[in-house]
């Protein structure tokens, strides 16, 4: 076997092949909650640079976690790429991830956007601000998430259901900031201000505001970015009717979350998997993804798209996002008690 390896390396040297070309048989298996078009170009670039083939499986975030759990140690997956710190924490709690440490990732990703024990690393940021209808809401009326419980907003707010992980993480952040009792009292008043029973995704909340069903939507900015840059004229029209307001700027800052990556417990290609995650944190990768998907780079100092820049600079909540996972059970029960459907 050793002689065979020597022979292959000798032939590679004579043919002028690079080490990356010699390792072309290497691979890494990725389970991604990202749609193929939003991740494949980066994976192709990684393969071109390293010679490591990426086998991609895409699916819904919760379905991929269940798949990992059912496959157990026999899972072919090396990496789980998913959305929301709450889901990353669930994967860790389910025992399907393993810790790893990387100096490159430690330097690139701020500590609040990665798991302290090395189970996951944030790769992009998603902000969840207040969006208001131009002409129907004066931005001077807005201030904080907490102020959305004021009776002046009765039947004027559109937001997704309590089963949505993005809302659960928002409430978890409020529990961290204000305590469970105060947040529950707020939620009971907030629910009374819903313009309609929660339904649909974030784009539907923005469309609801644009169509006059409500005056305010709480949604992730990358959905608005997608609508503003859509080929669909109706989506662009709806998106242009709303503006972004950054809440809690005189306090803790606007709520942010991450999409991120974890090394699976079953990883057979650990070294290649770490290489890929490090590659996704490089400035070039961060820039491409921000421009393509409208999320904010997790790595400081990376340029942003013109759409993101148009919403201005904002103060982000500096909460360690591990808390969004640990407080998720309390957030879910609190939302249920408050009548948030």
Q: Which pLDDT score, from 0 to 100, does residue 1 have? A: 42
Query: What is the helix (H) or strand (E) element at residue 261, kind and residue range?
Result: strand 256-264
The runs of H, that is alpha helices, within the chain are 2-15, 19-22, 40-50, 61-71, 85-93, 103-108, 165-178, 180-191, 202-210, 221-228, 233-239, 270-280, 283-293, 306-310, 322-326, 328-337
Picking from 288, 290, 289, 297, the residue whose alpha carbon sits closest to that of residue 109 is: 297
Q: Which pLDDT score, from 0 to 100, does residue 109 have? A: 98
What is the phi/psi pair of residue 293, to 5°? Answer: -115, -5
Residues of the chain with pLDDT under 50: 1-24
Q: Which pLDDT score, from 0 to 100, does residue 25 have? A: 52
Q: Which pLDDT score, from 0 to 100, does residue 14 have? A: 38
Q: Which pLDDT score, from 0 to 100, does residue 17 have? A: 38
0.75 surpassed by pTM: yes
Q: Quickly count helices (H) and strands (E) in the chain.
A: 16, 11
For the domain made up of 127-255+316-337, the CATH class stated in words is alpha beta
pLDDT (tens digit per residue) in 111-153: 999 999 999 999 999 999 999 999 999 999 999 999 999 999 9
Q: Which pLDDT score, from 0 to 100, does residue 38 have? A: 87
d(CA 319, CA 248) in angstroms, rounded, equals 13
| Intrachain domains 2-125+259-304 and 127-255+316-337 with the same fold | yes
Q: Residue 194 CB: number of other CB atoms within 10 A?
A: 19
Q: Specify whether the CB–CB gap between 258 and 113 falls below 8 A.
A: yes
Superfamily of domain 2-125+259-304: Periplasmic binding protein-like II (3.40.190.10)
Which residues, other chains included, contact 283 with Cβ-Cβ below 8 Å and sequence gap of 6+?
Answer: 299, 301, 302
pLDDT (tens digit per residue) in 156-202: 999 999 999 999 999 999 999 999 999 999 999 999 999 999 999 99
The full set of domain ranges for the chain reads 2-125+259-304, 127-255+316-337
Mode of pairing for the β-strands spanning 79-83 and 27-32: parallel
């Amino acid at each position: 076997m050793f002689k065979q390896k020597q022979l292959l390396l000798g032939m590679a040297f004579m043919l002028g092949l690079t080490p990356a070309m010699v390792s072309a048989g290497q691979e890494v298996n990725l389970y991604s909650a990202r749609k193929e078009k939003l991740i494949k170009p980066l994976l192709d670039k990684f393969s071109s640079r390293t010679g490591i083939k990426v086998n991609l499986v895409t699916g819904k975030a919760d379905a991929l976690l269940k798949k990992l759990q059912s496959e157990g140690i026999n899972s072919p997956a090396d990496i789980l790429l998913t959305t929301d710190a709450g889901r990353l924490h669930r994967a860790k709690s389910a025992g399907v991830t393993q810790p790893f440490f990387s100096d490159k990732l430690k330097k690139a990703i701020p500590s609040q956007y990665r798991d302290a024990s090395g189970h996951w690393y944030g790769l992009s940021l998603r902000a969840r601000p207040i969006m208001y209808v131009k002409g129907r809401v004066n931005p001077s009326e807005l201030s904080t998430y907490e102020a959305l419980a004021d009776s002046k907003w009765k039947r004027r707010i559109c937001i997704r259901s309590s089963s949505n992980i993005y809302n659960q993480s928002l409430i978890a952040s409020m529990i961290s900031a204000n305590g469970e009792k105060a947040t529950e009292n707020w939620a009971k008043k907030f629910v009374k201000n819903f313009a309609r029973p929660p339904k649909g995704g974030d784009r539907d909340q923005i469309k609801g505001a644009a169509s006059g069903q409500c005056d305010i939507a709480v949604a992730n900015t990358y959905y608005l970015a997608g609508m503003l840059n859509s080929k669909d004229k109706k989506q662009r029209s709806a998106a242009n009717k709303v503006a972004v307001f950054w809440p809690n700027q005189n306090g803790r800052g606007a709520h942010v979350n991450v999409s991120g990556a974890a090394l699976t417990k079953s990883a057979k290609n650990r070294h290649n998997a770490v290489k890929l995650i490090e590659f996704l944190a490089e400035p070039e990768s961060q820039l491409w993804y921000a421009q393509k998907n409208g999320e904010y780079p997790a790595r400081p100092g990376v340029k942003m798209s013109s759409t993101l820049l148009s919403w201005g600079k904002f103060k982000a909540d500096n909460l360690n996002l591990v808390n969004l996972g640990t407080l998720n059970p309390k957030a879910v029960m609190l939302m249920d008690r408050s009548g948030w459907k």
